[in-house]
């Protein structure tokens, strides 16, 4: 089994789930894990580590980068 490594740190669960969905669309397995043992605000929505198999790390980085790239405007006809 390939060890899981951190590919991203999400500020909250919603952001983590968005990243996880994008990775899944790219065919990359992922797992979420709390980034802190005890969150200072004591809320359920603590920062999340997004983990992927080590051998999928490069592809995961590319999938996440694609999320942040602005879409190119369509050329006028």
**18 in a structural domain:** yes
Q: Is residue 72 included in any domain, yes or no?
A: no
What total number of domains does the chain contain?
1
Q: What is the pTM of this model?
A: 0.79
The more confidently predicted of residues 76 and 23 is 23
Does residue 27 belong to any structural domain of this protein? yes
- pLDDT at position 44, please? 67
Q: Quote the pLDDT of residue 41.
A: 60
Domain hosting residue 24, numbered range: 4-67
The DSSP element (H or E) to which 32 belongs, if any, is strand 31-34
CATH classification at residue 57: 3.30.70
Residue 20 lies in a domain: yes
Q: What is the dihedral of CA 21, 26, 27, 30, to 10 degrees?
A: -40
Q: What pLDDT digit, counting tens, does each position of 22-73 carry?
A: 999 999 999 999 988 765 666 667 899 999 999 999 999 999 998 877 666 6
């Amino acid at each position: 089994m390939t060890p899981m490594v951190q590919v991203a740190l999400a500020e909250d669960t919603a952001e983590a789930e968005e990243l996880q969905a994008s990775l899944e669309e790219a065919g990359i397995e992922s797992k979420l894990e709390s980034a802190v043992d005890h969150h200072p605000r004591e809320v359920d929505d603590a920062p999340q580590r997004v983990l992927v198999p080590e051998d999928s790390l490069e592809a995961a980085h590319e999938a996440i980068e694609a999320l942040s790239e602005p879409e190119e405007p369509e050329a006028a006809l």
